[in-house]
Amino acid sequence: MKNILFAAILFMGMHSIQAKDKTEVDIKDDSVLVDGKASFIFEKIKYMPGTFNYYVKDLSGKKLAFLKFYDYNDYKEISSANPKGRVTYYEVTFLGSGQKAEIPAFARQVKMAEILVKQNLVQNGTISIESEQEFILVNGTPYSKKRSEMDGGKTIIINNNSTPAPRNGININITKDDD
């Protein structure tokens, strides 16, 4: 009985320690609240139905970064839960430096903000050079690299014109004459 009571107290103590270490992230009117205090603005911009891009702004409204949504299909990602092999991600562009990194896409705005908070990108309402560089090094651009590898780095152009492209040689047009 003493062992069960000791285990229960130990479990509750460990749980309360973990709860104190966990940062609480919430969004209210596009303001990201970290442990109840406004940290930065995470403005949602409708991109297409059900899909959004985001601006990261300091508390005065100055734009710091832009998150652009991308997706592609990868046959290696096909599963019963993902029959088309859809891969979704955000390209993060830092507006001051123009540098980029990529992060996975999540459907909920608060989940996207949590990634930025947990990776210490925005600190005291701004993005420092050090936090930007660390974010870029840690995340890199794996999605665009994989996309490039999938198509061999080549761009395929499809001509959808109704008029055929001129070719060398003899062109013969056959028409019906109603005489």
pLDDT-derived band at 49 (thresholds 50, 70, 90) equals: confident
Mean pLDDT of 15-41: 80
pLDDT score recorded for residue 177: 64
pLDDT-derived band at 179 (thresholds 50, 70, 90) equals: low
Domain that holds residue 146: 22-150
Residue 10 covered by a domain = no
Residue 112 covered by a domain = yes
- Partners of 55 in the β-ladder: 43, 66
CA gap 136, 93 in Å, rounded = 10
Residue 177 covered by a domain = no
8 Å CB contact between 155 and 115: no
Q: Which residue has the higher pLDDT, 113 or 158?
A: 113
Residue 157 covered by a domain = no
Residue 113 covered by a domain = yes
pLDDT-derived band at 18 (thresholds 50, 70, 90) equals: very low
pLDDT score recorded for residue 96: 92
Q: Is the pLDDT of residue 105 over 90?
A: yes
Residue 179 covered by a domain = no
Mean pLDDT of 70-95: 94
| Tally of domains in the chain | 1
pLDDT digits (tens, 9 = 90+) for 131-174: 999 999 999 999 999 988 887 655 556 656 666 566 666 666 66
